[in-house]
Structure 1
Amino acid sequence: MIRLQKTEWAFLGLILVYSFIPAFGGLIRVLELAGGPQIAPVNARALLAPTPIILHILSSFLFCIVGAVQFLPSIRWHHPTAHRIIGRVIVVAGCVSALSGLWMTHFYVFSEALQGPALYWVRIILGAAMIGLIVWAVVAIGTRDILQHSTSMLRAYAIGQGASTQAVIGIAWIITVGSEALGPLRDGLMIFAWVLNLLVAEILIRSLLRPAKRLRSSAL
């Protein structure tokens, strides 16, 4: 039986709250596309080509919510089999999330108010980077390079959680200014959310993962 520490339960709760709007809002969209009642505003792109957005929502939900379990020490250290099984699911989910995101970015038609050239290219670059980081993490664990595996997955997770930070920043902007950001301003805020996530990931890597690696090496 898997037992988690109180701090680990708190971490999972924080992830659930932080991911609530994009994750559970996305699930509402999936239910609508499956024939459920209309709750969220109509999305013409989703109605015309629903498969990519359904794949993106479900895979992103798995990657961001279930993927958070992979960072828990109790799972990594005391239940390696569970960590490996969940990891395989997360690898597939992360790649599907990134690939479907790339498809929507390139093939869906967005107005300039919702996606300008800068946001388009950042989405393309980060989507490709997310796939590359996940593949790199798989290769690293195959060679027993735990540090490289952990850092690559953390960076990929930071990219995958972009929508959560974008939702927080977007809501904060509306509360502060009184209107939704559109056009280049919206693009800038969304790009800033990814920059912030990746910055936090790098801080965690340098403050937690690399010192832990040095301590294990010195103990040998």
Structure 2
Amino acid sequence: MPTNSTTKKDYRIIGFLLFLSLVPSIAGLVRIFQLTTGSGYTVENQRFFNDPIPVILHIIAVLIYSVLGSLQFAPGFRSRHLRWHRISGRILVFLGLLTAGTGLWLTWVYPKVPTDGDWLFGIRMVIGIWMLICIILGFVFVLQKNFRTHSHWMIRGYAIGLGAGTQVFTHLPWFVFVGGEPSGIPRDLMMAAGWLINFLVAEWIIWKENSFRN
């Protein structure tokens, strides 16, 4: 039987991950509404209206990946629902690959927007490739029944997938103290900081888990 403390830990993990996904999910749903209704057209988002399918696929994949993934990393919930964990895990592998793949496609094919600096293209390409590697390795290790290493790589992939949620907070000081939309190198650094923070948190979680088991 799971203890109350385990249940509370599950709620904290799931709640935090869903909270981190909230703003990007709302923004993504608004974007889908705009693209499907033809509203909110501007010069800045013209690229989405010109070729909407990839960005819609990306948004849907990220949204489901974020929400479904939050349940995978709650240890008590996972141990009580192993069959569900395995089935949803296969879905998450597909969604993670779709998230990374469409993200790379959007970066490579869509024209650069004026607010992007010179570094952001390269940063996004590295992040997209890293997420692909994490998901693929996570899948390979679960096939080999190396569940511990599988978990570590899936944590890394999920952390990258939640980058947009952390970027809300890395942009917040700019909005408060400077105002307006950041552009150029400051925007590149704030975007990179969101992924970097998630990367470091993921590595800390993995290190902590390894230290506890050793």
Matched AA of 1:102: L
Opposite residue 74 of structure 1, the aligned amino acid is G
Q: TM-score normalised to the size of structure 1?
A: 0.88
TM superposition shift of 1:7: 2.7
Of stretches 40-49 and 129-138 in structure 1, the one that deviates more from structure 2 is 40-49
- Match for 1:107 among 100, 109, 132? 109
Structure 2 distance, partners of 1:48, 1:142, is 40
Counterpart selection for 2:95 from 93, 110, 116: 93
Aligned partners of 1:150 and 1:40: how far apart in 2?
42
- Alpha carbons of 1:10 and 1:37: their partners in 2 closer, same or farther (altered >3 Å)? farther
Deviations 1:43-100 (A, max 9, x none): 2111001011001100001111211110011232121100001101111111001000
Task: Give the TM-score normalised by structure 2.
Answer: 0.90
> In the alignment, is residue 188 of structure 1 matched against residue 193 of structure 2?
no
Aligned residue pair count: 211
Provide closer, same or farther for how the CA distance between residues 212 and 160 of structure 1 changes in structure 2, counting only shifts above 3 A: same
**Hey, what's the Cα distance between the residues in 2 that align with 1:28 and 1:10?**
27
Q: Secondary structure at the match of 1:144?
A: coil
The match for 1:157 is 158
Following TM superposition, where does structure 1 have runs of at least 4 consecutive aligned residues deviating by more than 6 angstroms? Answer: 39-42
Residue number in structure 1 paired with 2:129: 128
Output one character per residue of 1:17-53: Cα deviation in whole Å (capped at 9) or x when no partner: 2221111210121122222765999721110010110
Q: Assess if the C-alpha contact under 8 Å between 1:113 and 1:184 holds in 2.
A: no
**TM alignment of 1:39-188, pairs within 5 A:** 43-116=45-118, 118-188=119-189
SS of 1:134's partner is helix
Range that drifts further, 134-143 or 73-82: 73-82
- Which shifted more, 34-43 or 196-205? 34-43
Q: Which residue among 7, 25, 28 is the counterpart of 1:26?
A: 28
Read off the aligned partner of 1:164 and give its amino acid letter: G
How many Å separate the matches in 2 of 1:38 and 1:52? 18
Task: Call closer, same or farther: CA 1:55–1:65 in 2, change over 3 Å.
Answer: same
Q: CA-atom RMSD, angstroms? A: 2.3
Write the letter of the residue equivalent to 1:141: V
Aligned residue for 2:210? 210
Cα distance in structure 2, aligned partners of 1:46 and 1:39: 9
Looking at structure 1, the residues matched to 41 and 18 of structure 2 have their Cα atoms a distance apart, in angstroms, of: 21
Structure 1 unaligned runs (5+)? 215-220
8 A Cα contact 1:28 1:40, kept in partner: no
Candidates 25, 37, 52, aligned match of 1:35: 37
Q: Is the alpha carbon distance of 1:39 and 1:86 closer, same or farther for their aligned partners in structure 2, counting shifts above 3 Å?
A: farther
3-state SS of the aligned residue for 1:5? helix
Deviation at 1:166, TM superposition (A): 1.0
Q: CA deviation at 1:212?
A: 4.3
In structure 2, give the amino acid aligned to 1:181: P
Q: Give the superposition deviation at 1:124.
A: 0.8
Deviation at 1:168, TM superposition (A): 1.6
Deviation string, structure 1 residues 112-164 (Cα, Å, up to 9, x no partner)? 42242x21111111111111111111110111112210110111111111111
User: Structure 1 residues 169 and 39 mapped into 2: Cα distance closer, same or farther (>3 Å)?
Assistant: farther
